[in-house]
Each structure stands twice: as structure tokens, then as C-alpha cells.
Amino acid sequence: MTNVCLYFQVHQPFRMRKYNVFDIGHNSAYFDDKKNREVMQKVAKKCYLPANRVLRNLIARHDDFKVAFSITGTAFEQFEKFAPAVLDSFEELASTGAVEFLNETYHHSLSFLHHKEEFLEQVRMHQRLIKDRFKQKPIVFRNTELVYNNELAKVAEELGYKVVLAEGADHILRGKSPNYVYTPKTTKRMRLLLKNYKLSDDIAFRFSNKNWPGYPVTAKKYADWIAPILGDTTNLFMDYETFGEHQWEDTGIFDFLENLPRELKRKGISFHWPSELAKVEPKDELDVHHPISWADIERDVSAWLGNRMQNAAAERLYALRKDVLASKDADLIDAWRKLSTSDHFYYMCTKWFNDGDVHKYFNPYDSPYEAFIAYMNILNDIILRVKGDERTGVGAALKRWMSTS
Amino acid sequence: MFGWEFPPYKTGGLGTACYGLTKGLARNGVHVTFVMPVAPEGAAAEFVKLIGANQLAKKLKLIEVPAMLAPYGTAEGYAADYAPLNAKGLYGKNIYTEAKRFAKIAKAIAHKEKHDVIHVHDWMTYEAGIAARNVSGKPLVAHIHATEHDRTGGKPNPHIAHWEYRGLKAADIVIANSEFTKRNVLLQYKIPEEKIRVVHWGIEEDHPHYKLDYQSILNKKRKIVLFLGRVTLQKGPDYFVEVAKKVLRFEPNTLFIVAGDGDMLPKVIHRAHELRISDKVIFTGFLQGADVHKAFQMADLYVMPSVSEPFGLVALESLKNNTPTIISKQSGVSEVLHHCLKVDFWDVDRMTDMIVNMLKHTELHEELRENGYHEVQKFNLDEPARKVRDIYNEVIR
């Protein structure tokens, strides 16, 4: 029997406008405020507020109930701008002492794969955010989309983290169980927690699927599945938007959440935070070279960096870093960082024929090609902003842009 | 099967569509007798029995008419097109008379040729279909490739619209080549929806022309953007030149090719001159056979800005030739194609944005080219033919 480790990811990107070639050099409003507001307010109403209420009640009712969150900086900013009540409710949850916050990159970026310095800066930004808002100094790190390899574990250890999270992908476990605590090959004392993707996805993806043999999954049934598990922990990691947004209220998802701690308690199962596993003796060492993630069937980074458009866009984004920072223009730096959010690259994904339905569902653009067009137009405006007055202003820079490929 | 044209005697998509359909049907064990007003020399195919109405009915003095110009021209175009013929006394009053004569001959053919189903293509042949059914009593399938509304940009010729309606109403089953066409049929004619089936077109899987790998001297140091189709209102050539002007502001080293003929050609040439881009726009006139494929192959990008495109087989042809496409959302093909860019025909700025980015970013161009080419391989002649065969079986029962 193992205790359950619940971690929920909270994230919203700043979606871009359909920024076109005529906007370049004329308009630096890159983000679609209207759409971002709509999405935030919808998700706040369907998910964040009601789910936080359920958690608040669970904490009041069960002494042993514990949960961990990672909230991105871009989600935070949008709570402040569009749905301040959500922020209040998270602060209220934090004040109960039952909630642990994790660290990640402020902008939910894949900077770890592209630019180490930028990665460290975005982690620092997130550390400040969590410290200021929730008075916590996390010792647990989760990278964007659970992108992980040996190198990440090493960097996280250097930053002082004790625990790192990753996907319990079959190809790294090779028959081992995700329900033990491991240690990354490249680190001295780091602990690696792996998502139990089967049980996590039973809730996140399959909960309302009537064709799934496990349907309908009640809290009691689910507790029965967890009870026989042997090991150190059952790691249930998922998007917080699972509750009410991906699985609508009428599927019974909130009732499920509400009843789960009681049903687990009947089986003698309790909860722990990721940080509490820092002292557990690791079962084994895991050696992960190629980056893994929690996305798609491939569990790799091909959803964000799987085609030429995605690679070109990322390459050009990070190539601009030096000039953008040198401009000392706070708005420009802020906008540039928001463009590093992984979602923008996800929208450019062309893997439509296999598991593309998920991509399609989340894509605000009609096609991955149009996502690329808007993104590159914006990058070109940024080029004008950093280099515009170098020679004879915008016209010259635009010409330079046109003459290079 | 009654049609109006058959390769090489064709000027538009209908001939290609009929060729593909009869070929696909033959592969699926259906024997087709294809009747057209005139079966010119060279029109032959081993998989279909071709009959020219002129061969059967010399007495009626049927002449070889420039068929496609007629049914797909503008309403005003008819008079102009046929005035010279009328003057010489060679031809009846107009295209309607022509279609009526075709219907008379159809009676004789229905009598003579053994058949189980009568299949007719577009309004010119609908009267023939009705006449044939009156003789044989066999079920009538009316295929609609374009409504009069599509052809005229919403200003239908009332005579033609009436004929179209008569045919659709008389038919046991109507086959529309897209949801787009089906919607138009439902909107304009009170045809019961349950009578309409949608069969999207396919394309010949393989063809020697696809692999010509043609390069022109024009390709050197320049990017080429292609328009290919009839230069007429329905196809949006006027939007193409407006877009060309805007694209040239960003990508001055681009050449625009307008391939095709049609009533709007003088107007479009004049507009290019007005916009002062005559040196950047080339007009090829009507292309056929291998030249069509060469045009695709030398182009970096094919744009189909159609105001109304019931299907748009050309987009598939472009992809088959490894040329990525930007297609109008007002098209049937946009219902079945994913790896292309889609735009409203009137949205000149958006189209400019897409073209500029395609020319500018090789990554975008390459992804669209490769994925588009991959996607078009799933289109073939068999699948639409199988669906049509199933419809035959349905009406015969």
C-alpha cells in the first residue's frame, strides 16, 4: 500500500492575435486580449473556482489531505488581469498549509532545450513569484510539460532542488514500477518522482469515455485500483483543467474528487506532498538521455519541436534574446518572453494523423501553418523594435528583413 | 451517361471529372456508355464506349460547339460567343437550342443502347437525361458539379436556373461534388435533402506528367506564384492581381502567372497595367495537357482564390505536382484537404500575408509541400467511383 501524491498543473498561455504582415512595423499588440479574457473567465468559472472550493472543503474535512500545485507565471498574470477571484481562492488554499507549490519556468517555456541562461532566468522569476505570493520556497521542480532528462536533473540539483518530477514513460522504466522513488544517474542526492500515467490518465483522459472498460470510474472503484499498489507512492499528476474543463461537471468529475479522500481513507491510504519524498531511499538509478515529456503517445518533445517550422521559430526566438535584453525595453522583453511559452509551438504541430485530435482541440488557429505565420510576423516586428533605429529606422530594417532568408 | 466534354476535348474540370469517374467505374465493373454532343477525333478511352451525338444524328446538323465556353461563360457571354456562329447560319439560336437538340438525340440513344441507369452531368445534359428516362424508364442520377449560382457569382441566368431545377427535381438521386455544392442546391432549389448524396472527387493516382520535374528559366532567382483556371468571375482572378500588387511590396522579386482564358482576361490584364505591375504578371492563355503540369511544377505556390468553387480538382493537381497551395474557403476541396492554407476569397490582406510568409520562410513552404504531397496520395479514382456505383445499386433496386 502506498500513499497518494497529487500534483495539479495550472497554466494558461497568452494566445497571439492573427498578427499579419501588414502589422509588422506598425502594431506591437501581439496578444489577443479578448480571447485570453474569454478563455480565462470561462475556465475560472468551469474549473478553477469550483475545483478550489472542493479542495477547500476536503482540507477542512480531512486532516491528512494534501495537494501540490504548479502555477505558471503566465496563468498568474491572467488571473490578476481577468479573474482576480481565482487568485484569492488560491491564496486561501495556500493559507491552509495543506498545499505545496512547485517551481518551474515562469513562462512555461522549453527554454531548457534551447537556452540555458534564459531557462535559469525564468526559473528565478518563478521562484520570486511563489515566494512573494505564497511565502514558499519550493524544493521540488517540474519542468514544462514534464520535459526531463539527466541534464535537467543535474541543473535542478545545482539550483538546490531536492525532488524533480517526470513522466513514468515505459521506455525509461523498462519494466520497472513508477510507484517507487528513483534517483537520476547524474545527481548525488536528487529524488525523481514518476507519474503513474495509467492511473493519472484514467482521470485526465478517460474519465468520461463510455467506450473504456473502466467506465464509469467512481471514487470507490478508483480506491480499489490504488489499494494493491506496492511501492513508495502513487503519483497522480495532471492538468488542473481536467476538473470541469476537460471533463465537464456533468461527468461527475467534481463528485469524484470530493469522494476520493474518503474512499482512500477506508483503504488506509493517505496523502503526501512531493517534498516529503525527498528523504526516501531511492529504489534505483534512472538514466535518461533523450528528453521525455508527458505529451502524446510518443512521450517525447516532438509535439513542440517535431517539424521545421517549430524548430525555425524556436531558433529565431532565442537568437533574438541578446538584442531584446540589451534594449532594456521592459514591454519588449516581457512580450518576447511570452512568446517562449510552449503552447505557441504546440499550435504549429503537424502530427495530425495520429494523435492530432488533442492538438486540434487546443489550437486557436485554423491550422499549424497559420500559427507559424502569426508567430513569425511577430518575431519580425520584434526584430524591427530591437534594430529599427540602428540605421535609418523601420524602413531599412524591413528591407533587411526582406533581403535575408 | 450523358456529358458535355471528354478529354482531350475539354476546357475545364468537368471533362477531367468525367474522365476520372468513367475510368474509376470501369475498374469497379461498371460498363459506361458516354454520350456527348460531339465526339471529336482523339477522344477515346479503352474503358468507356464513347458516342458523339453528331455521329448518330447527322440530319440535325449538329456542329462542334465550343462547349465549355458556352455553359461556363457569363450570361452576357453567350450572345457574344454565338453571334458569329449564328451569322454564318451554322448554329441554332443559342446554347439552349443546343441542349434541346442533345435531348432529342438522347431519346434515340436511350432506345438503342442497353443501360440500367442514366447518369447526367450538369444542366446542359439534364434535358437529355429526362428524355432518355421517358424512353427507357430507367432511374435518373443527376450529377451537379456547379450550380448556376456558382457560375455567375449569384446572378443566375433564369433560363439555365430553370433547366437546372427541372433536372434536379426529376432525378431519382442527385450527386453533389461537395457539401458546399449540396448547400447551394438546398439553398436555391427545393430539392429534398434525403435525395442528395455527396461524392467528393478523387484524382488519378499516377500520371507521367506528375513527374516531368519541369524547371523554367523563369524559376531562376525568382519565386513564382500561379493562378490556373478559367479567367472568369467565379475563379477570382481579379483578387489574384490585387494580391499580387500587395505581395510585391514585401517580396518584389516575385513573378505572378495567370494561366487560363476567359471572359475576364482583358479586364485582368488592364488591371495589372493600372496597378503598374504588368512586368510582374505573365498571362499564358489557355493551357492543356502537359503544359498544365509544367505550370504547376515551375510555380513555388498555387493560389486558388475562387469566389465559388464547387469542388476544385485543380488544388489536388497542384499538390500532385508537388506545389503547395492556398485555397479559397469557398470551395468543396477545402472540406477534404488539410495540409494547405485556406482563406476567404475576399480577404486580400490575409492572402497576401500567407503568400509573403510562404515565399519568405522555406520552413513553412517545405512543411506545406511535403505534407500536402503526402496527403494528396490518399485521393484516388476508385473511392468516388465506388460511392457512385453504390448509388447506382441503390436506385436500381
Report ipTM for this prediction: 0.87
Question: Do A201 and A330 share a domain, yes or no?
Answer: no
Report percent pLDDT > 70 for chain A. Answer: 93
Residue A405 in contact with partner chain B when CB distance is under 8 A: yes
A311 and A281 in a common domain: no
The mean predicted confidence, pLDDT, of chain B is 85
Looking at residue B62, its pLDDT comes to 31
User: Do A223 and A350 lie in a common domain?
Assistant: no
| R_g of chain B, CA atoms, integer Å | 21
Q: What is the pLDDT of residue A296?
A: 83
Q: Measured between beta carbons, which residues in chain A are less than 8 angstroms from residue B251? A: 402
Candidates B361, B366, B370, B375: best to mutate against A (most CBs of A within 10 A) is B361
pLDDT surpassing 60 at residue B332: yes
Q: How many CB atoms lie within 10 A of CB B359?
A: 21
Active site residue A92: no
Which residues face A166 on adjacent strands? Answer: A194
**A369 with B349: Cβ contact below 8 A:** no
Cα Rg, chain A, nearest whole Å: 22
* Cα distance between residue B128 and residue B135, in whole Å: 11
Q: What would the pLDDT profile of B131-143 be if each residue is shown by its tens digit?
A: 999 999 999 999 9
Answer whether A378 touches B (CB < 8 Å): no
d(CA B204, CA A199): 48
Range of the domain at A174: 3-286
Q: Given pLDDT bands bounded at 50, 70 and 90, which one contains residue B54?
A: low
B367 vs A366, A369, A377: nearest CB = A369
* CA dist., res. A293 & res. A306, Å (int): 13
pLDDT at A392 > cutoff 60: no
Tell if the CB–CB gap between B356 and A369 is shorter than 8 Å. no
Q: Which chain A residues have a beta carbon less than 8 Å from that of B353?
A: 20-22, 373, 377
B367: closest chain A residue by CA: A308
Is the pLDDT at B228 greater than 90? The verdict is yes
User: Does B368 lie in the same domain as B234?
Assistant: yes
Per the domain annotation, does A292 fall within a domain? no
Q: How confident is the model at residue A18 (pLDDT cuts 50, 70, 90)?
A: very high
Q: Do B352 and A21 touch (CB under 8 A)?
A: yes
Residue A291: inside a domain: no
Chain A, 289 to 328: residues with Cβ < 8 Å from chain B are 307-309, 311-312
Q: Which residue reads 433536372 in cell numbers? A: B167
pLDDT digits (tens, 9 = 90+) for A242-277: 999 999 999 999 999 999 999 999 999 999 999 999
Residue B3 lies in a domain: no
pLDDT of residue B108: 86
Among A20, A22, A369, the residue with its CB nearest the CB of B364 is A369
Q: Following DSSP, what letter does each residue of A128-158 receive, concatenated?
A: HHHHHHH-----EE--GGG-B-HHHHHHHHH
A217 domain-assigned: yes
Per the domain annotation, does B2 fall within a domain?
no
The pLDDT assigned to A398 comes to 52
Q: Do B361 and A376 touch (CB under 8 A)?
A: yes
pLDDT of residue A31: 97
Residues 14 through 73 of chain A touching chain B, CB cutoff 8 Å: 20-22
Contact A19, A377 (CB under 8 A): yes
| B242 half-sphere exposure, CB direction, 13 A CA radius | 13
Q: Are residues A254 and A334 in the same domain?
A: no
Asked if residue B95 belongs to a domain, the reply is yes
Domain co-membership, A226 together with A272: yes
Give the pairing of strands B281-285 and B254-259.
Answer: parallel
The answer to whether residues A183 and A282 touch, using CB atoms and an 8 Å cutoff, is yes
Q: Which of A16, A17, A21, A22 to mutate to test the interface with B (most CBs of B within 10 A)?
A: A21
Residue of A nearest to B325 (CA): A369
Q: How far is B361 from chain A (nearest CA, A)?
A: 7
Side chain identity, residue A14: F
- pLDDT of B86 above 50: no
First to last CA, chain B: 19
Minimal Cβ distance to A20: which of B339, B341, B349: B349
Residue A355 has pLDDT above 50, yes or no: no
- Residue A35, φ and ψ in degrees, nearest 5: -65, -45
Could you tell me if A275 and A311 lie in one domain? no
**Nearest Cα residue in chain B from A400:** B250
Q: For residue B335, give the nearest of B309, B296, B353 by alpha carbon.
A: B309
In this predicted structure, what is the pLDDT of residue A388?
Answer: 62
Q: Are B213 and B296 in contact (CB under 8 A)?
A: no
Q: How many domains does chain A have?
A: 2
Residues of B in contact with A367 (CB under 8 A): 338, 341-342
Pull the grid cell for residue B135.
Answer: 424512353
pLDDT computed for residue A352 by the predictor: 63
Q: Is the pLDDT of residue B89 over 50?
A: no
CB distance B367–A402 less than 8 Å? no
Does residue B132 share a domain with residue B188?
yes
Question: In chain A, what is the straight-line distance between the N-terminal and C-terminal CA atoms, in Å?
Answer: 59
Under a CB-based contact definition with an 8 Å cutoff, are residues A233 and A277 in contact? yes
Nearest to A373 among B338, B354, B371 (CB): B354
Same-domain pairing of A326 and A224? no
Span B275-330, pLDDT tens digits: 999 999 999 999 988 999 999 999 999 999 999 999 999 999 999 999 999 999 99
Helices (H), A181-307: 197-204, 219-226, 253-266, 302-305
Indicate whether A124 and A257 sit together in one domain: yes
- Calculate what percentage of chain B has a pLDDT beyond 90: 60
Same domain, A182 and A260: yes
Residue A53 buriedness (CB in 10 A; 0-12 / 13-18 / 19+): middle
- In this structure, the answer to whether residues B238 and B137 fall within a common structural domain is no
Number of domain units in chain B: 2
3-class state of residue B352 by DSSP: helix
Active-site pick, A100, A104, A118, A145 = A145
Q: How confident is the model at residue A185 (pLDDT cuts 50, 70, 90)?
A: very high
The minimum CA-CA distance between A353 and chain B, rounded to whole Å, is 10
pLDDT at B12: 65
Q: Decide if A399 touches B, using CB distance below 8 A.
A: no
CA dihedral A142, A147, A152, A157 (to 10 degrees): 10
Q: What is the pLDDT of residue B214?
A: 85
Residue B78's pLDDT band, with cuts at 50, 70 and 90, is very low
Sorted by sequence, the CB contacts under 8 Å of residue B183 that are 6+ apart come out as none
For residues B322 and B259, membership in a common domain is answered with yes
Q: Looking at residues A166-177, what average pLDDT do you find? A: 94
Distance CA B230, CA A260 (A): 66
Q: Which of B336, B367, B368, B377 to mutate to test the interface with A (most CBs of A within 10 A)?
A: B367
Q: Residue B259 maps to which CATH number?
A: 3.40.50.2000
Q: In the listed set A260, A286, A312, which residue is the last one of a domain according to the structure?
A: A286
Q: Which residues on B lie below 8 Å from A22 (Cβ)?
A: 349, 352-353
Contact across the interface for A20 and B368, Cβ inside 8 Å: no
Domain ranges, residue B130: 13-202+380-396
pLDDT (0 to 100) of residue B43? 60
A221 and A310, same domain (yes or no): no
pLDDT of residue B391: 95
Q: How many CB pairs under 8 A join A and B?
A: 60
The answer to whether A105 and A128 have CB atoms below 8 angstroms apart is no
